[in-house]
Amino acid sequence: MNCSRVPLMNQPAWIDELKSLVEPGKVLTDPDSLQAYGKDWTRQYDPAPSAIVFPKTAEQVQAIVRWANTHKVALVPSGGRTGLSAAAVAMNGEVVVSFDYMNQILELNVTDRTVRCQPGVITKQLQNFAEENGLYYPVDFASSGSSQIGGNIGTNAGGIKVIRYGMTRNWVSGLKVVTGKGDLLELNKDLIKNATGYDLRQLFIGSEGTLGFVVEATMRLDRAPNNLTCMVLGTPDFDSIMPVLHAFHGKLDLTAFEFFSDKGLARIMARGDVPEPFATKTPFYALLEFEASNEEIANQALATFEHCVEQGWVIDGVMSQSKQQLQNLWKLREYLSETISHWTPYKNDISVTVSKVPAFLREIDAIVSAHYPDFEVVWYGHIGDGNLHLNILKPENLPKEAFFATCAKVNKWVFEIVEKYNGSISAEHGVGLVKRDYLEYSRSPMEIDYMRAVKAVFDPNGIMNPGKIFAL
């Protein structure tokens, strides 16, 4: 059942009723707020919500959802709005539900190594809280300073530590969610072992708010890592990166293995605020991280580096000797997304199994080079888990609409290669609106039918983030 697209600003009775469900001043309809809260980091769609509502409790979220069902009004969840798939974009008169005021860390359980928190908690806030208590929250990415835990759960966020720690879903012990019917469900109750039927907690992770809204989460924590150490290695070609991965993975327990191209490094160096890793120029770079908890491990890393040089896989490299050097080397990778955002990049976030990465990248790169001859292409990604980020930069003088239209033409060929390698069209950014029309390249028609059926159970009136993941 489709929701009404009549703007609420033309329905004052509805607005008054919505305002009665939350605290005073927690419904906004001014143009600046609608523009700010109606979008995420994608720039392909113009936001056009009707109102922004800021609940502070799970009960208020329930009331909002029930109100929306009564009036058949669509709801779009909003966290840190750092998404790259337009899952948080409201462009059809929807009401945006922002979790900015549900931002409290509620309880730490040191024995269970868990922390109970509200969905609006900033990722970095949780990381800092864990560190202050001698623990570690390992899910990390460039937007950790503004992304929210609820959004991380909604997209099953990955990031730079997946090779060791896995995705967000690996760190969710329990959830409280408000479904599309307005029911409050407590899922898994923070248990480690629970063999009592369907694990609905996992169903909501990665659902992009299409089944319901997370109103509380219990997140697992880990021990703090000991003396994290980083190496940046320059390689003569992309094919050399995989044997480097195998060499180090066989000797060390890696916490990260990233890569980026010379074009990406050039953009970082142009900023002027990040030290160059070494003077030698190479086409590709690998960044790896590990715990150097003793001298033996550090020596093993250096010995593996020397072996890679002897094999011709590595031309030059550097290893951090302090926490500051560790942070500086990570900036080479972590600052990439922010740095190239000035050029309005068209992003593809694709993945295959690690063993298929070299052949997969070669085929994708050939397609891109043939059809984007005048566009600059920047590659980087989490190669240790098979996730590649393909970024096409918009020329300064080319209108945004023409640029995105040109890129979209090539998507079909790129995603055909993804399908050929049994890969994913979205490794960690979600589907949203950007990838919605390409879902069939990663999911079969039968799978999609089952997904639609699941949504209908939890959201029978179709009010929860409609049009995201699959079309109405």
How do residues 153-163 score in pLDDT, each as one tens digit?
A: 999 999 999 99
Query: What pLDDT does residue 1 have?
Result: 45
Q: Where in the chain is the domain with CATH 3.30.465.10?
A: 105-223
Residue 204 and residue 458 in contact, taking contact as beta carbons nearer than 8 Å: no
Q: Where in the chain is the domain with CATH 3.30.70.2190?
A: 228-337
The whole-model pTM stands at: 0.93
Residue 82 and residue 41 in contact, taking contact as beta carbons nearer than 8 Å: yes
Tell me yes or no: is domain 228-337 CATH 3.30.70.2190: yes
Q: Where in the chain is the domain with CATH 3.30.43.10?
A: 8-101
How do residues 338-348 score in pLDDT, each as one tens digit?
A: 899 888 888 89
Tell me yes or no: is domain 8-101 CATH 3.90.1150.10: no
Please report which confidence band the pLDDT of residue 373 belongs to, taking 50, 70 and 90 as the band edges.
confident
- CATH level 3 topology of 105-223: 3.30.465
Distance of alpha carbon 156 from alpha carbon 199, whole angstroms: 15
- CA separation (Å) from 4 to 93, 238, 463? 8, 50, 9
Residue 279 and residue 224 in contact, taking contact as beta carbons nearer than 8 Å: no
SS3 content of the chain, % helix, strand, coil (to 5): 40, 20, 40
Mean residue pLDDT across the chain: 94
> Residue type at 361?
L
Query: What pLDDT does residue 251 have?
Result: 95
**468 pLDDT above the threshold of 60:** yes
**185 pLDDT above the threshold of 60:** yes
- Classify domain 344-453 by CATH architecture: 2-Layer Sandwich (3.30)
Please report which confidence band the pLDDT of residue 12 belongs to, taking 50, 70 and 90 as the band edges.
low
Q: Where in the chain is the domain with CATH 3.30.70.2740?
A: 344-453
Query: What pLDDT does residue 7 have?
Result: 47
- Give the residue, 51 or 10, on which the prediction is more confident: 51
How do residues 46-72 score in pLDDT, each as one tens digit?
A: 999 999 999 999 999 999 999 999 999
- What DSSP element (H or E) covers 378? strand 376-382
Q: Tell how many helices (H) and how many strands (E) occur in the chain.
A: 15, 18
**275 pLDDT above the threshold of 60:** yes
